[in-house]
Structure 1
Amino acid sequence: MKPAIKRVIVFILFIGITLGAYFLATGITDSIYAYRSPLKENSPPSADPLGEPMARKVVFVLIDALRYDTSLNADIMPTLNNLRSQAAYARTSSQTPSYSAPGYSVLFTGAWPYLSDGPAFNLDYDDIPAWTQDNLFTAAKRNGLNTAASAYYWFEKLIPADSLDVGFFTAGEDQAADREVVDAALPWIRSNDYQLILIHIDQVDYAGHHEGGPAGPNWDTAANRADSLLAEILSALDLEQDVIFVASDHGQIDAGGHGGQDPVTLVEPFVLAGKGITPGDYGDILMVDIAPTLAAVLGTNIPAAAQGQVLVEMLSGLPETVSAALPQAILAQQQGLLKTYETAMGITTPTQITDQDQIVLLTQQQIEKYSSQRLSRERIWRLIPTLIVLAGVFWLLKKNSQKGDINLLLGAVTYTVLFHLIYFVVRGKVYSYSAIISQSELIVVNGLIVLILMTAIWYGFARWMKWFEQGKTLLLDRSSRLFFVTIFLTSLPVLVHFVWNGLYVGWTLPVLGIHYIALLSLLQIMFLAGGALLIYLGLMVFFDRKNERLTA
């Protein structure tokens, strides 16, 4: 092949890879923002209410981002820890994504993010959809209860308008906003006109994002202020007649941030106290257990898409009619959920589960079985073309191998090792969506690191291998080969993501850690190819001008 034609092909390839990486990166992120549950168009049927409420009112205090370990510190949160001593308390486990919007949705629907049909990632206010699945607010209204919410303004969009009697919503997230939130809610509590009240305290999350994270001193200060607000709420309640529930939607990593699979973001406090509650340590529970349990306290139906248990061992004060109705209600709710899920998944031979004692466990195992079977089939079909592509790449590399190619692989490995040393060790980042401070930080900082590393490694190898002394054709050829090998090595996590998750999010949510690493790889590829294009063009211009001077 003539050198000029080869250079045009290389030029086109670099442009194509740059644009392809950009569109793939935006595509895989856009698809997760756009994700909707398989139940969206065909929700499980809602049942009749269980009966009369166990308490006069339930006040749900949601302290956004409160870490489990912070909640246990009596010096920082004395009110919460004093309440815990007279409450049913536990450690809640949640699932990814550990963002607020999916966490809110799980808390109120009792369904995991892949089924709840709440946003999978946090959306802009104008884009937030109302909950389509049955939830504590819709269930309460169905039972003739009055509802109220004082919260961050995302809840104004999430809670269906016809299931909320009164609300106060703010775009603020700091201590001043929390002061307004609690001031709005206290009269509702004292009036006894509302049976379900949500109070959302947001300043702990704000401190995590904007004031140094949980490792900084402002985190504890914010948690202490939130605890003081909790004391005000408690002072307006009579726990001989009322119930208070304190929880969080997620934790935060030490540096500040959440959204990914980091263990500290997936454990939260659970504190339930008041009339009819049996105090004690209940160990580990699931976040999906919260909505069914509070539904029993309120006497409503169990939210129709709920995947958790009613924690009846905590509820010694349930009215006899509710206790009697509960087993059959749980059975019917889980059977309805399974039937709806089977329809959504196209299951032609449905499963009938009748074991009342283990209905929740068996139903969730069956849902997981359907999901894992479909994922396994899809992964096999994606693995086959991936292996063919890899075989083709290795064949091309072998066919076009040249002396010294092992050094190109060494250069690619050197880039990869240095990039991840800087990312993980120097910058202290985790391989998780929790690491993202902002979109611009993710793109610009990583992009600059890629460009600097790639340029330094290319120049170092070119000098070491004496490419500059061997003429234009060899320098361009060896440089382009180094860039292509580096891009190929960097693309391997994208192939893993394709096999395991599928390229774009479809009927279920992806394994989020793999998804993030694929996104990080695509960003690198975009800057590797774009930077290679600039270096390649620069070399051609340099040699052309050099030739002009020599012939002048």
Structure 2
Amino acid sequence: MKTRDDNLKAGRRRLARVAAACLIPVFLAGFSLYAQDLMMTAWNAVAEYRSPYLFELEPQDEMGRAATEGVMLIIVDGLRLDNSKKLETFNRARAAGADLSAVVGQPSLSDPAAAVIPSGTWQEIHGVTTNWYEGELRVDHLFDAARRSGKTTAVIAGKGWVDLYGGDMDRMYEFDDSDPAYDEQVYRQALAVITGEEPLPDLLVVHFGGLDHASHAYGGVSPQAMATAEVIDGYIADLLDAWDLSRRTAILTSDHGHIDSGGHGGWEEEVLNVPLVFVGQAVDPGPKEAARQVDIAPTICALLGMSMPSHTVGTVLDEVITLPPSDLARALITLGLARYEFSRSYVATVAEPVPSRFPDAMEAVLAAANQVEEGSRLVDEAWVSLVAGDPGKAVETAGQGIELMDKAREDVKRARLEAERGARLPLALVLALVPLLPLVYLGRNRWFAYTVGGAVLYFAVFNLLFFVVHGFQWSLSVFNEEHMIPQFITSRMLETALTMIVIGTFVGLLAGLRRRYDGPELAEAAATFCYLVVYGIGLQLILFYHQYGVSFGWFIPDLLRGFKFYVDLMQAIPAGFASIVAVPAALLGAKLGTVLTRSRSAVPPA
């Protein structure tokens, strides 16, 4: 009787193990289908980001006077800060002018940066996050501000600039930036504008793009890239000589850098730090502290005595340019008035969905709104000081008001992020803890230690391939060209699937080498190995979900963590499907181990 009961229990146990070995891969395959949809949702949330900050703001009239007869802004696409220090013209301009660097925003791509520089606002605000953005820029910018102020503008650049700014410039000279002769064409046109019979524009923007192409093709520090940079540097020398820096001002900068292998778009220091050199009229020479890319536009407006772009979050680099105190005060007051209109709308937009059940967040929202009003009061006080004949105090007070409004925006963003994280925490905990329940049963499998070891080995192998063999980072910069994105995704998926199948086979081989194993038990163990891999990937996805969610309608997340989230999804998608193959692969591995063991046993001793 006891033997019969034992046989029934053993039969039920075997049946349960067969069921687990079959059902776990099916469940994991279903998760893979969900991960595929999740990846598209998260990718489109950034690639097709729709900024909620495209406010219709009332422009502020200019108050100051021009400190220079014109500004020429030269942008060398893709020039790294370190490479710029090897260029003769750049170094000559540094010696004669103000030498600093600028931090660019993310994604650190060409079109998003082409939107940042003239608008003075970040990608999260202006909404351009890719090089395939369609339509014109939908925030206020330098060319609109110049037209309001009666200033003339000319741009010599490629199609990206035309697409973003359309007919907002007085003169637009478009060239094909994929043409090898693009830089020479731009140079000759710029020289013709400067030396021609037509009146010089108040603002001339010149874009050189050949270095970006050379860096993508050969690498950011390649001899080919440096040779291209030196040619452009020679063109710039002629333009500076013709521009008459005794009466006018020139600004030399870049939109982004490149990593050594040629990519950009990510967070690397050589990508995010670019040269920024001011030289000529109204420039205070010498080394300066680092600025931000968004500071370029308001500083140009201050130099030209123009209205400020309404959406700018930058500041006037008053340590770089030399304005009479009254004109500097007027520039900062103009900026402060624009900042108030933008910050008030920003705080209201960000604060509106904050759940009332989070009192700390609501308190921070109210404090931020009060900070914006206090900042506005300080700007008004600065105007009173200016009228009273104290421009120095006006400069100080306006600066304090702008800083207070900037802090208010940071505070309300942080408060909403923390409130949303609090709202997502219960679901994140459920998603993280519930999958542990099956392990209470699966952990009794005598091969469970092997499955845990196999899961650890999977993550070790995947990361070894990713970081060491391929030399990747969690960064958009791994894509040297946009067409490489599908290939990158496909390769990571194949590596995931093959690694899981190979390790599953290896676990089975170890079981076979031990001679005695039960097929259903081993199949269950192989399925458990796959379950642990997917669970480990899922924990990382859940952590990102808790921090940022998966659909970013009002902000752009930390793109280092964001890229890791995409890489985790690239593993999650094939991992479930690979489990369907990994289970029989483990059984085949066990058969092979058994054959090898018998072969060794059959060999007679010497």
* TM-score of the two chains, using structure 2 as the length reference: 0.82
1:461 equivalent in structure 2: 507
Give 3-state SS (helix, strand or coil) of 1:122's partner: coil
Q: Residue deviations 1:258-294, cap 9 Å, x none? A: 1112222111111111222222211212222111100
Which of 146, 153, 171 aligns to 2:152? It is 146
The Cα shift of 1:144 comes to 1.8
Q: Is 1:487–1:529's contact at 8 Å kept on the other side of the alignment?
A: yes
Q: In structure 2, how many angstroms separate the alpha carbons of the residues matched to 1:542 and 1:368?
A: 56
In structure 2, the residue matched to 1:314 is 320
- 1:91 corresponds in structure 2 to 101
**In structure 1, distance between residues paired with 2:505 and 2:19:** 25
Structure 2 Cα separation of the partners of residues 401 and 21 of structure 1: 26
- 1:282-307 CA-partner distances (Å, limit 9, x unpaired): 12122221111001112211211111
5+ residue gaps, structure 1, are: 544-552
CA distance in 1, matches of 2:351, 2:501: 52
Q: Does 1:63 align with 2:76?
A: yes
Matching residue of 1:271: 277
**1:149–1:174: structure 2 CA closer, same or farther, 3 Å change rule?**
same
**Count of residues in Structure 1 that have an aligned counterpart in Structure 2:** 532
Tell me which residue corresponds to 2:203: 196
Aligned counterpart, 1:28: 42
1:466-481 correspondence to structure 2 within 5 Å:
466=512, 470=517, 472-481=519-528
Cα pair 1:137 1:163 within 8 Å, conserved? yes
- Counterpart for residue 491 of structure 2: 445
Alignment match of 1:340 (pick from 342, 345, 358): 345
Give the stretch that moved more between structures: 49-58 or 1-10: 1-10
Question: Could you say if the C-alpha distance between residues 369 and 346 of structure 1 is closer, same or farther in structure 2, counting changes exceeding 3 Å?
Answer: closer
Is 1:490 matched with 2:533? no
Q: Which residue of 2 aligns with 1:121?
A: 130
| SS class of match (2:319) | helix
Tell me the residue number matched to 1:395: 437
State whether structure 2 residue 220 is matched by structure 1 residue 206. no
Distance 1:426 1:131, change over 3 A: same
Native 8 Å contact 1:119 1:129 kept in 2: no
1:292-307 equivalences under 5 Å are: 292-307=298-313
The answer for the alignment partner of 2:404 in structure 1 is: 362
Indicate if the aligned counterparts of 1:107 and 1:287 stay in contact, CA closer than 8 A: yes
Q: Distance in 2 between matches of 1:521 and 1:397?
A: 22
What is residue 405 of structure 1 aligned with on the other side? 448
In structure 2, distance between residues paired with 1:394 and 1:3: 18
Whether the 8 Å CA contact 1:118–1:129 is kept in 2: the answer is no
The CA deviation at 1:62 is 0.5
Residue 550 of structure 1 corresponds to: none
Structure 1 residues 174 and 267, CA, compared in 2 at 3 Å: closer, same or farther? Answer: farther
Contact conserved, 1:43 with 1:305, CA < 8 A, in 2?
Answer: no
Query: 1:499 & 1:173 partners in 2: Cα distance?
Result: 42
1:476-532 alpha-carbon deviations (Å, 9 max, x no partner) = 322221111111112222111101111121211101111101100111121222222
> C-alpha distance in 1, partners of 2:256/2:529?
43
Give 3-state SS (helix, strand or coil) of 1:314's partner.
coil
Q: What is the match of residue 546 of structure 1? A: none
Deviations 1:65-85 (A, max 9, x none): 211111112xxx101111111
Matched, 1:135 2:149: no
The structure 2 residue matched to 1:371, chosen from 407, 413, 427, is 413
- Distance in 2 between the 1:361 and 1:317 partners? 20
Distance in 2 between the 1:134 and 1:525 partners? Answer: 42
CA distance in 2, matches of 1:462, 1:538: 8
Which amino acid in 2 is paired with 1:206?
A: H
When Rg is computed on C-alpha atoms for both structures, the one with the higher figure is 2
Corresponding position: 1:529 with 2:576: yes
The reply to whether residue 216 of structure 1 matches residue 229 of structure 2 is no
Q: Using the alignment, how far apart are the partners of 2:479 and 2:329 within structure 1?
A: 49
Match of 2:8 in 1: none
Determine if contact 2:25/2:580 at 8 Å carries over to the other structure.
Answer: yes
> Structure 2 CA distance, aligned partners of 1:533 and 1:408?
16
Whether 1:383 aligns to 2:392 is no
The one-letter amino acid of 1:66's match is L
Secondary structure of 1:466's counterpart equals helix
Q: Is it true that 1:15 corresponds to 2:29 in the alignment?
A: yes
In the TM superposition, what are the counterparts of 1:252-271 in structure 2 within 5 Å?
Answer: 252-271=258-277
* Matching of residue 414 in structure 1 with residue 449 in structure 2: no
* Partner secondary structure for residue 92 of structure 1: strand
Whole-Å separation in 2 of the counterparts to 1:105 and 1:453: 42
Counterpart residue number, 2:552:
505
1:322 Cα deviation after fit = 3.4
TM-score by length of 1: 0.90
d(CA) in 2 for partners of 1:330, 1:295:
9
Residues 150-189 of structure 1, C-alpha deviation per residue, up to 9 Å, x if partnerless? 2121111111x34212223344346422222222332222
Does structure 2 retain, via aligned residues, the 8 Å contact 1:307–1:360? no
Measured after TM superposition, the shift of residue 30 of structure 1 is 1.0
CA contact (8 A) 1:334 1:359 kept: no
Q: How big is the shift at 1:418?
A: 1.2
Q: What amino acid does structure 2 have at the position aligned with 1:178? A: D
What is the CA distance between 1:101 and its match in structure 2?
2.2
Q: Aligned-pair RMSD on alpha carbons?
A: 2.5
Which whole-Å CA distance do the structure 2 matches of 1:409 and 1:426 have between them? 24
- Give the Å deviation of 1:15: 3.0
Cα pair distance change 1:69/1:541, threshold 3 Å:
closer
